[in-house]
Amino acid sequence: MAYPANYRYTKEHEWIQVDGKIGTVGITDYAQNSLGDIVFVDLPKVGDTIEAGKSFGSVESVKAVSDLFAPVSGTVTAVNDELKDAPEKINSDANTTWMLKVELSDAKQVDGLLTAADYEKFTSEETGH
């Protein structure tokens, strides 16, 4: 699956799509594929703040639990409640299944994130052993 060119990515496998001051956050196709069947997503509440590089929640597959890391700092403005009952949506389409919307506290942080091309290179290095 291709990584959308208008998203930015973290080395912890989150994506963010920025539109003005609002960033939409999810996990990548690489991440969902590594995790396997996702059964549980633990997310913050609207109004909570998240901090770039810090854990903001967790995602669990049958076999493992993984931290979610914030690509940017900001305040949560929306949470995808659909994931409470249907976390497997992330497996079926990681690129469009969002988790959070965040009001960015520092838009410049986005520039430090990986581009789609960088991320693709990063993941191919991670798998290619």
Residues that bind another protein (CB under 8 A): 34, 36-37, 39-40, 42, 58, 60-63, 65
Q: Judged by CB, which is closer to another protein: 4, or 36?
A: 36
Widest pairwise Cα distance in the chain? 42
Please report how close the Cβ of residue 86 comes to another protein at its closest, in angstroms.
14
Answer yes or no: are the C-beta atoms of 56 and 50 closer than 8 Å.
yes
Please report how close the Cβ of residue 37 comes to another protein at its closest, in angstroms.
4
Q: Judged by CB, which is closer to another protein: 36, or 112?
A: 36
Q: Judged by CB, which is closer to another protein: 37, or 106?
A: 37
Answer yes or no: are the C-beta atoms of 77 and 101 closer than 8 Å.
yes
CA distance 3 to 8: 9
Please report how close the Cβ of residue 40 comes to another protein at its closest, in angstroms.
6
Please report how close the Cβ of residue 16 comes to another protein at its closest, in angstroms.
23
CA distance 85 to 63: 19
CA distance 62 to 72: 28
Q: Judged by CB, which is closer to another protein: 61, or 109?
A: 61
